[in-house]
Amino acid sequence: MLTVKTYTKEEALLKRVEELEMKLAFSQNEVTKLTQYNFHLESLVKGIGISQQSKTITIKSATKVEFVEVEDIVCCYADMGYTDIHLSNGKIITATKSISKFEELLHSFSFFRISKSHLINLSSVKIFYKDKNQILLEGDILLKVARRRRVDFLKIYR
């Protein structure tokens, strides 16, 4: 024998509300996933992006897009609207983005702007010459620290 359960209007409305709440929660979860995915795609299209899991940066140059590990970057040098990125293996990549874009991107990875035209990886610093106000980086790269940035630079190592 088949029994049919009848609901009151209130029970039917409550059941429908529960169904809609479940759909809403599922939709919000999907929107969050799509937002993260879109952010990653936008960063790749813009030419600079970062993958949180692997700490890999994408660098767009005039002819190609290169994927570089953040810890392989020794320093960045501003050259008008371009940025020369020096890697620990001696390779130099010329990117089509300004150094300020790289400063924003690499700030959370212990990079520091020592002058208007130089951004350095703090883990690649070998020697700081106090009398000359210069630093020696991996690969024997010698750079001058701006007078206004010297105090902030020294505070990092105290």
Domain containing residue 88: CATH number: 2.40.50.1020
**What is the pLDDT at residue 115?**
95
The CA distance from 142 to 31, in Å, is: 48
pLDDT (tens digit, 9 = 90+) per residue, 112-129? Answer: 999 999 999 999 999 999
Local structure of residue 67 (DSSP, 8 states):
E
- How does the average pLDDT of the chain come out, rounded? 85
In a domain, 17, yes or no: no
Give 121's contacts (C-beta < 8 A, 6+ positions apart): 71, 73, 74, 75, 106, 109, 110, 111, 137
If one counts the domains in the chain, the total is: 1
pTM of the model: 0.64
pLDDT at 26 over 60: yes
pLDDT at 41 over 90: no
Asked, for residue 149, whether it belongs to a domain, the answer is: yes
